[in-house]
Every structure is written in C-alpha cells, then in structure tokens.
Amino acid sequence: MLGAWMEEWAVTCAPNQLINDLIRHGIDDRELYGAAADQVQEPGLRQVLHENCDALEAVVTDMQLQVAAEGHRPPRHGTLRGWVRRQLAGWLARRGGDGVWIHLLARSEAGYRRMFESGLDRMPQDARRVLQRQQGRLRDLADDMCSLSASQRD
C-alpha cells in the first residue's frame, strides 16, 4: 500500500519539482542580471540588462503562480550556488569590466534555456503549457546575450 502511494506521489511531484528547480535557477539568473545591471559602466547595456531582469522576473512569477494554483508553495529565493556565482562574478567584473558580465550572463542564460527546454520534454501536458508560454521570452533573452557576447569579441 505504501509503495503505490509513493509511486503516485512521485508522479505528481516530479513536474512540481522540475518547475521549482526552474524557478530557483530563474531567480538566480534574475539576480545575476540585477547585479550586472547595477555594476556595468555602459548606460545602454545597463538598460538592456534591467529589461532582461524584468523579463526574467515575469517568467519566474508565472511559474510561481502555476505552482501556487496547484496548491503547492513555490520557491521565493534562488540557490546557494547562484549566490556564490553572483559574488564571484562581481569580484571578477570589478577587474575585467562589462565584458565579464556579458560573458557570464550569456553562459548562464544558455544553461537556463537548455534546462527549460529539456524540462518541456519531461512535463505532463497541463504543466507544459505554462513553460511553453515563456519559451519565446527566454529565447529573446538568450538572443540578446548572444548578440552582446558576439559584439564583445569583435
């Protein structure tokens, strides 16, 4: 009897766990964007990073609302790894300038997008809809960071 309950629990919690992981990593990336936007020197870049931070906030909020609508408590903060990465990024950027932020954000955004898209493949259809609504927004963020990263190399 306990085995059947555990299997049912695992099936119903797996999508929420994945969404919660996406929320936590989204919060990490949002906070990384915020830290970068506060520290970069170029005003145009600062504006783009603030806009990307706001777009990522919308993605995270939408997923949090989905988890809450299902009667669960969504994460409200990122991970320890994300905090450490922000601290290290700030230290490196003070020595390397705006290009360091762009490089770190591009890598982080690409990783988040891969995690997001692989999550779509493992989601049940009802949970997948929330993620699919945000997919275009994440592509735009990744495209922004790829463009900025490419312009830094030129």
Give me the residue spans of the domains in the chain: 2-153
State how far the Cα of 85 lies from the Cα of 79, in Å rounded to an integer: 10
User: What is the tens place of the pLDDT at every residue in 108-138?
Assistant: 888 888 888 887 777 777 667 767 777 777 7
Rg (CA), the chain: 17
Q: Could you give the C-alpha distances from 84 to 2, 21, 53, 75, 103, in angstroms and in order? A: 40, 17, 19, 18, 17
Task: Report the chain's terminal Cα–Cα distance, integer Å.
Answer: 63
Average pLDDT, the chain: 81
> How many residues are given for the chain?
154
DSSP states along 87-149: HHHHHHHHHH-HHHHHHHHHHHHHHHHHHHHHHHHHS-HHHHHHHHHHHHHHHHHHHHHHHHH
Half-sphere exposure of 57 (CA within 13 A, CB side): 9
| Torsions phi, psi for 40 (to 5 deg) | -70, 155
Q: Within 10 Å of residue 34's Cβ, how many Cβ atoms?
A: 18
Can you give the pLDDT at residue 150?
66
CB 135 within 8 A of CB 39: no
- The residue-averaged pLDDT of 64-84 equals 91
User: What is the tens place of the pLDDT at every residue in 87-110?
Assistant: 998 898 888 888 889 888 888 888
Percent of the chain at pLDDT > 90 equals 30
Q: Kindly report the CATH number that applies to the domain delimited by 2-153.
A: 1.20.1260.10
Can you give the pLDDT at residue 15?
59
- pTM value is 0.79
If phi > 0 it is left, if psi is from -120 to 50 it is alpha, else beta; for residue 71 that is left
